[in-house]
Structure 1
Amino acid sequence: MENTLLEKYFRGECSPEEVEKILAWFKESELPTPHEQELYRLWEEVEIEEASKEFAPHSAAILARINGNIEKQAAADLVTDYAESETNVLALPKTQTQWQWWLKVAAIIFLPVCFLWFFSDQFTRKNKSVIRLVTIQSGSGIRKNITLEDGSVITLNSNSQVTYPAHFSSHKREITLTGEAFFKVAKDAQRPFMVKTGSLLTQALGTSFNINYRPGKQNVAIALATGSVKIEKNKPGNKTQLAILLPGQQLQYSQTALTYKVSAFDAQEVLSWRAGILYFKQANLEQVIQKLEGWYGINIQVVGKIPGQKKEWRYTGSYQDESLDNVLAGIAFVKSFTYEKKGNKILIKFR
């Protein structure tokens, strides 16, 4: 057995294969004098090193247990001679000096293992407090209902994502949203329900509301259906209250101008998507295209001359669980254009 390998084992740096090699070596019935002297040297180094104050009590307890086990084994030896046993158990020496030597050998073998177990146990305990996050996404044209552990329900619109802890803490329920979702919040006065959308934080106790937040788009819209919510601008180390909404009110926040306004909203226009209704109310061409792309997971390109000024182009209509062809045909009839489909690409042509 190489001395460097013993030192490596004692430092806890051995691979599983090297550990097996060392343990097999210790099972030999007789140890050569150089190996015996090397074990004594290693043990003397252990005795003069100061153990960490944090783990010293544990190492003492481990040594006490090892000593107790060896003494029990010695008592058993008075009855049974293990050297002649057919079970192939290693014969243990009987003299006090040899027992002390084997005690040190046992400590060298098992102390690193016990410390490894202790560190692993402490690491596992600490990691139980680590928050495990859940992320749920919905693709184009897909809407999902998510029931949280507290009974709250999230209806996720297409091309949206929510992230939340698998288990809420004892003092808050926090959700992060990208896209659009409707929240029906279970009442819990001890744990406010908070939704983070960019720089805004919406807080509620027991209520229902809709949030539409698309990174890169100009506006964030927060519409309250029931109860009340508090909306804050959330900066690191600083929160500024913007508004407390009442049912039927909506806050629209400009991500470019950093301004906001509170006004009444049309429930059919804002909330009908939850029932599978694609609704347009005086929508301009850009809004119609954006909604169609998100709803059906398509890409739309417009060519030709749009009649009149672009800002005057408006469309109002409602479609429930309709196919893309039916919706395009309906809009094309009213707004006088034709279209072509190529896979998930649509080409709209104005004459």
Structure 2
Amino acid sequence: MEKKVLIKFLNGTADAAERSKVMQWLEKDGSREKFDRLLLDRWKNVGEGEDDERDYEALLNKIHARILRPSRSIRPNPWVRYLRVAASALLLMASAYFLKQSAEYTEPVPVISERIIERSTSDGEKLQLTLPDDSKVTLNANSTLSFSSHYGLKERVVRLSGEAFFEVAKDPEKPFRVETDGHMTRALGTKFNTYARSGNFAVALTEGKVAVQGAQTAIELQPGELARSSGSTTISVGPFDMDQVIGWKENTLVFDRKPLTTILEDLERWYGVEMAVDPGLNVNRRVIGTFRNKNLNDVLTGLGFSLGFAFDIDNNTVTISKNRL
């Protein structure tokens, strides 16, 4: 008898002709021993170890005892009963084995490593970002914003160097935090501007409420208030002019008694140029003026007329010199 036919018979996949063929074969001498060996081989392919061998011997003895046990009632062909018992036992063993394997196997949970995402602007460049929680950020020139790739999963934290305007999506369970050197600003759903350059720090609130934490001071701002710190642990609070502080976002430059030297540094960032200033020019003079949507040439023309200097633009280099009139 072909082994594959016997296996199909045990698995219940044999057709009618194959089943009849097996039944006829089992009537022959020696067929029982061969069948026992086949059952043992199948058992060993399912289980392992001494306990499995003892289980097999016990099962085989029970099968044989059941076949040989006398009965007062009319019973079917003992080989049919034998095969049914053997096939059921094999199926049970296979099911138990695979259930055991399934119980021991645990689907591995993929671990996504955390990384830092960084967005930067160069001189003369602005950038608008939408964070994963739909909070919006407008990044001013020469600024850097960084945050974790896990942002929003447990907390909402960004780190800023430079200047940015934030429109924070509301999430009371996960306060939005902006970290800068020496300061931290905490908000829920609000709009505010943060400035952090060269030891100078400022937060201007336009909507909602924020808390500002310094090294030794913590204050809470209301809309229209600005918190400022300059190289010290003290944070001062006062009102601010919207155009002057946040005008850059709408391409509006407002100078309120600002020294020319600071204005020229701002222009370098905003327009992406390098200033070469005549040493004889008084750069400490203060300026009052507003420029809306003006190009660099228009801004310098207005400043030069008020302060008495000439300028020359050569690609990305601007030369500022005293007026020789």
TM-score between both structures, scaled by the size of structure 2: 0.65
Q: Which string of whole-angstrom CA distances, capped at 9 and with x for unpartnered residues, describes residues 267-298 of structure 1? A: 11001111111222211022111110000011
Aligned residues: CA RMSD: 3.2
Aligned residue number for residue 278 of structure 1:
253
Aligned residue number for residue 242 of structure 1:
218
Percent identical pairs in the alignment equals: 31
Q: 1:175 is matched with which residue: 123, 146, 158?
A: 158
Asked whether the equivalents of residues 171 and 190 of structure 1 are also in contact (C-alpha less than 8 Å), the reply is no
Residue 100 of structure 1 deviates from its aligned partner by 7.1
Find the residue that maps to 1:164 and give its secondary structure.
strand
Classify 1:95/1:283 alpha carbon distance in 2 versus 1 (closer, same or farther; 3 Å): same
Aligned residue number for residue 194 of structure 1:
177
Q: 1:344 is matched with which residue: 293, 316, 321?
A: 316
Classify 1:346/1:133 alpha carbon distance in 2 versus 1 (closer, same or farther; 3 Å): same
1:244 partner amino acid: E
Q: Which string of whole-angstrom CA distances, capped at 9 and with x for unpartnered residues, describes residues 21-42 of structure 1? A: xxxxxxxxxxxxxxxxxxxxxx
Find the residue that maps to 2:124 and give its secondary structure.
coil
Which protein has the larger Cα radius of gyration, Structure 1 or Structure 2? Answer: 2
Q: 1:213 is matched with which residue: 191, 196, 200?
A: 196
Q: Which string of whole-angstrom CA distances, capped at 9 and with x for unpartnered residues, describes residues 157-213 of structure 1? A: 111121123453454211111111011111111110100111211001111110011
Classify 1:74/1:271 alpha carbon distance in 2 versus 1 (closer, same or farther; 3 Å): farther
1:278 partner amino acid: L
1:150-169, aligned counterparts within 5 Å? Answer: 150-169=133-152
1:129-148, aligned counterparts within 5 Å? Answer: 130-148=113-131
Residue 153 of structure 1 deviates from its aligned partner by 1.1
2:214 partner amino acid: K
Classify 1:132/1:75 alpha carbon distance in 2 versus 1 (closer, same or farther; 3 Å): farther
Which runs of 5 or more structure 1 residues have no equivalent in the other structure?
A: 1-71, 80-93, 105-117, 235-239
Aligned residue number for residue 223 of structure 1:
204
Asked whether the equivalents of residues 149 and 167 of structure 1 are also in contact (C-alpha less than 8 Å), the reply is no
Asked whether the equivalents of residues 217 and 233 of structure 2 are also in contact (C-alpha less than 8 Å), the reply is no
1:291 partner amino acid: D
1:75 partner amino acid: I
1:334 partner amino acid: S
1:322-333, aligned counterparts within 5 Å? Answer: 322-333=294-305
Asked whether the equivalents of residues 213 and 219 of structure 2 are also in contact (C-alpha less than 8 Å), the reply is yes
Classify 1:73/1:156 alpha carbon distance in 2 versus 1 (closer, same or farther; 3 Å): farther
Q: Using the alignment, how far apart are the partners of 1:77 and 1:295 within structure 2?
A: 84
Q: Using the alignment, how far apart are the partners of 2:320 and 2:177 within structure 1?
A: 41
Residue 149 of structure 1 deviates from its aligned partner by 2.4
Asked whether the equivalents of residues 300 and 347 of structure 1 are also in contact (C-alpha less than 8 Å), the reply is yes
1:1-351, aligned counterparts within 5 Å? Answer: 75=7, 122=108, 125=109, 127-128=111-112, 130-214=113-197, 217-233=198-214, 240-255=216-231, 257-307=232-282, 311=284, 313-351=285-323
Q: Using the alignment, how far apart are the partners of 1:246 and 1:152 within structure 2?
A: 20
Classify 1:325/1:127 alpha carbon distance in 2 versus 1 (closer, same or farther; 3 Å): same
1:199 partner amino acid: G
1:194 partner amino acid: R
Q: Using the alignment, how far apart are the partners of 2:181 and 2:132 within structure 1?
A: 24
Classify 1:263/1:76 alpha carbon distance in 2 versus 1 (closer, same or farther; 3 Å): same
2:223 partner amino acid: P
Classify 1:343/1:77 alpha carbon distance in 2 versus 1 (closer, same or farther; 3 Å): farther
Q: Using the alignment, how far apart are the partners of 2:213 and 2:6 within structure 1?
A: 73
Asked whether the equivalents of residues 117 and 147 of structure 2 are also in contact (C-alpha less than 8 Å), the reply is yes
Find the residue that maps to 1:127 and give its secondary structure.
coil
Which runs of 5 or more structure 2 residues have no equivalent in the other structure?
A: 15-37, 49-104
Q: Give the count of matched residue pairs.
A: 241
Classify 1:334/1:188 alpha carbon distance in 2 versus 1 (closer, same or farther; 3 Å): same
Find the residue that maps to 2:211 and give its secondary structure.
strand
Q: Using the alignment, how far apart are the partners of 1:241 and 1:76 within structure 2?
A: 82
4+ residue runs over 3 A deviation: 72-79, 94-97, 130-133, 165-171
1:243 partner amino acid: I
Residue 241 of structure 1 deviates from its aligned partner by 4.4
Classify 1:74/1:156 alpha carbon distance in 2 versus 1 (closer, same or farther; 3 Å): farther
